[in-house]
A and B are shown apart, each in its own frame.
Chain A
């Protein structure tokens, strides 16, 4: 299986691995993750206009790869709320992490990295298996297509 290594600086949290979910768009947990309002609650993306590539996808348990965060302070509370209910992501990989997301990651000890030597949104594809070692700032990508 083809493997790609991305290197950056020390991130937040420890290590995690899982299936990648990649978006070219910036993410807001309040503007995009309407599953929060459903019963039972989910981390499902409902914003077709702003997040067409993640529309209908469930963000729970995935390694989220997206350029950055967007839209206000609310994502901290939303991300924390979902994570405490077991619906948070396994890790986050950004071009540049939005501070509102970074502080949530610090409190949750959620593996998070940015500033990698290649654009993760171009190198990683949805379905790739990704190992994140935030302590070393290293991401190992196993491509789903050999």
Chain B
């Protein structure tokens, strides 16, 4: 690869003069520490150099004791707070366009805005529809949420690794990220062919398809999959958002291609860069059913019913159509989550009133539900707040919340989930 490389990796990064100045502390201690962390990551991952970031999203940190938003008793939050305080002292400004999901503490939001971040919707953390600015083909990005990162890679042709909160924050401060993984041409081609033998009918089926693929490739997620057999005309962007979310759960598929849909996979030949695949497997109805059977109806009545994904205007209209003039069962807490754009549509056109009249709780922040008179985040609070059974459209919910020994039930359509909320009985 180069003279300082053994086994095709770089052991020492080649930094520009400006990057060296950052590392030597010329721009202050906060910038020095940020660059030091990035250089360590670059050296570990064998990167030759840093590249300029076109967009970073300081999404939520999510931690122990907290919800999807930042939590002061989270150790990552404490680390970031110390870092942020140093940035304030040194008057550090972000070096690339930054968005921040407004799910943090007011104190942190204020600091981030002073450093140059633009606040976006709470749901923006998980919804590519709310991305601002929209990345362009070939640009280097560091989104905070995994599904947005995957969407950027796979559907927009922008390039990002799943850096997580630390890597994203350091990229924001320096405007740089190490060039490794999916930022490199050679890692963006498909190595696995997935023959899809079903045409998913709705966004939940897309999530189930993604979950199966992600699970199959979980120990070698870097072997980029290309999906064949999908009818491009029958796919919506909501479907793909849902698919991107479950591709990062249970595995960690940061980049995939769909033949005929992805900009780098217009044909199978292009997706594979003319090479033979390392692996091939098929997904049909049997494999899809395996996933549904992982979170089957248990016979318990639902405590909470929630619609978590995707959070778009289309989903808003779908839910309104199903609940208008009806009432949520009194023993059920039914929560829905929307992007800021969808919430604005709901307000502007009287749809929020229809939802609330029916007894639907419109979550103020990502992942929130109403439970026994107070707002909780089931990802961290379901067990301690006494929730026993939850019905969801989200496989992320299933995987994460079931670790708290709560019964999670995945249903295959929006209609069945809404009917469960209305009747108080799980619709099989």
Contact (A71, B162) CB under 8 Å given A9-B11, A81-B63, A102-B41: no
Contact A37 B403 (CB under 8 A): yes
Whether the Cβ atoms of A115 and B37 lie closer than 8 Å is no
Interface mask (B62-94 → A, CB under 8 Å = 1, otherwise 0): 111100000000111101000000000000000
Flag the segment in B14-22, B216-224, B303-311 that touches A.
B216-224
A65 within 8 A of B: no
Chain A CB within 8 A of B424 CB: no
Residues of A with C-beta under 8 A to B161: 99
B222, A72: Cβ atoms closer than 8 Å: no
- Residue of B166, B221, B384 contacting most chain A CB atoms (<10 Å): B166
Q: Measured between C-beta atoms, what is the minimum distance from B289 to chain A in Å?
A: 16
Q: Are B9 and A76 in contact (CB under 8 A)?
A: no
CB of B76 within 8 A of CB of A81, answer yes
- B:343-387 near A, CB below 8 Å: 380, 383-384
Q: Is there a chain A Cβ closer than 8 Å to B46's Cβ? A: yes
Q: Decide if B399 is an interface residue (CB 8 Å cutoff).
A: yes
Interface size of B by Cβ–Cβ distance < 8 Å? 54
Say whether B249 contacts A99, CB under 8 Å. no
Q: From known contacts A34-B405, A67-B220, infer whether A77 and B251 are also in contact, taking CB-CB under 8 Å.
A: no
Q: Residues 198-220 of chain B: 1 if any A CB is under 8 Å from the residue's CB, otherwise 0?
A: 00000000000000000100111
Docked CA distance A81–B380 (Å): 14
Q: Closest CB of chain A to B21's CB: distance in Å? A: 21
Of residues 102 through 121 on chain A, the ones whose CB sits less than 8 Å from some CB of chain B are 102-104, 106-107, 112, 114-115
Of the candidates A72, A100, A107, the one having the most CB atoms from chain B within 10 angstroms of its own CB is A72
Q: Is the CB of B252 within 8 A of A9?
A: no
Chain A residues with CB under 8 A of B251? 26, 70-71
Task: Tell me the smallest distance from the CB of B370 to a CB of chain A, in Å.
Answer: 21
Q: Is residue B99 contacting chain A, with contact meaning CB distance below 8 A?
A: no
Q: Does B146 contact A (CB under 8 A)?
A: yes
Q: Which of B44-64 contact A (CB under 8 A)?
A: 44-46, 59, 61-64
Determine whether the beta carbon of A103 is less than 8 Å from that of B166.
yes
Number of A interface residues at 8 Å Cβ cutoff, please give it: 51
Is there contact, CB below 8 Å, between B75 and A31? no
Chain A, 20-42, CB within 8 A of any chain B CB: 24-26, 28, 30-34, 36-37, 41
**Is B333 an interface position by the 8 A CB rule?**
no
Known: A73-B146, A99-B41. A32 touches B403 (CB 8 A): yes
> Is B62 in contact with A73, judged by CB distance below 8 angstroms?
yes
Instruction: Please report the C-alpha to C-alpha distance between residue A36 and residue B379 in the assembled complex, in whole angstroms.
Output: 12
Interface of A is mostly: loop
Distance (whole angstroms) from the CB of A65 to the closest CB of chain B = 13
Supposing A31-B400, A46-B403, A71-B252 touch, asked if A81 and B144 sit within 8 A by C-beta, the answer is: no
Q: Which of A9, A24, A28, A77 contacts B62 (CB 8 A)?
A: A77
**Chain A positions within 8 Å of B400 at CB level:** 30-31, 74
CA distance A107 to B400 in the complex (A): 25
Q: A31-B400, A80-B76 are in contact. Are A96 and B11 (CB under 8 A)?
A: no
Q: Give chain B residues whose Cβ lies under 8 Å from the Cβ of A49.
A: 294
Given contacts A26-B219, A80-B75, contact A71 B399 (CB under 8 A): yes
* B249 lies within 8 A of A31 (CB): yes
Taking a contact as CB atoms under 8 Å apart, the answer to whether A103 and B163 are in contact is: yes
Take A34-B404, A73-B59, A102-B45 as given contacts and tell me if A115 and B166 are in contact as well, using a CB distance cutoff of 8 Å: no
Selected from B63, B144, B222, the residue in CB contact (under 8 A) with A78 is B63
A67, A74, A75, A78: residue with the most chain B Cβ atoms closer than 10 Å: A74
Q: Which residue of A lies closest to B404 (CB)?
A: A37
CB pair B383–A81 under 8 Å, yes or no, is no
A15 within 8 A of partner (CB): no
A31 near B403 with CB under 8 A, answer yes
**Are A70 and B221 in touch, CB under 8 angstroms?**
yes
Q: B79 is contacted by which of A31, A46, A70, A107 (Cβ under 8 Å)?
A: A107
B167 contacts chain A at the CB level, 8 A cutoff:
yes
**A-facing residues in B258-312 (Cβ within 8 Å):** 294
Residues of A near B6 (CB, < 8 A) are: 9
Inter-subunit contact A97/B44 (CB<8 Å): yes
Q: A11 interface residue, CB < 8 Å from B?
A: yes
Q: CB distance A70 to B166 under 8 Å?
A: no
The answer to whether residues A76 and B76 also contact, given A31-B400, A34-B405, A68-B219 and a CB cut-off of 8 A, is yes
Instruction: Identify which of A26, A80, A99, A112 gathers the most chain B CB atoms within 10 Å of its CB.
Output: A99
Contacts of B181 in A (CB 8 A): 99
Q: Mark B240-267, 1 if CB is under 8 A from A, else 0.
A: 0000000011111000000000000000
The residues of A that contact B220 with a CB separation of less than 8 Å are 67-68, 95
Known: A70-B250, A71-B248, A99-B181; 14 extra A-B contacts, CB below 8 A, are A9-B9, A24-B219, A31-B403, A34-B403, A41-B64, A50-B250, A68-B219, A71-B252, A72-B248, A75-B164, A76-B76, A77-B74, A77-B165, A95-B219
Binding site for B on A (CB under 8 A): 9-12, 24-26, 28, 30-34, 36-37, 41, 46-47, 49-50, 67-78, 80-84, 95-100, 102-104, 106-107, 112, 114-115
Q: B residues near A, CB below 8 A?
A: 6-7, 9, 11, 37, 40-41, 43-46, 59, 61-65, 74-77, 79, 144-146, 161-167, 181, 215, 218-222, 248-252, 294, 380, 383-384, 396, 399-400, 403-405
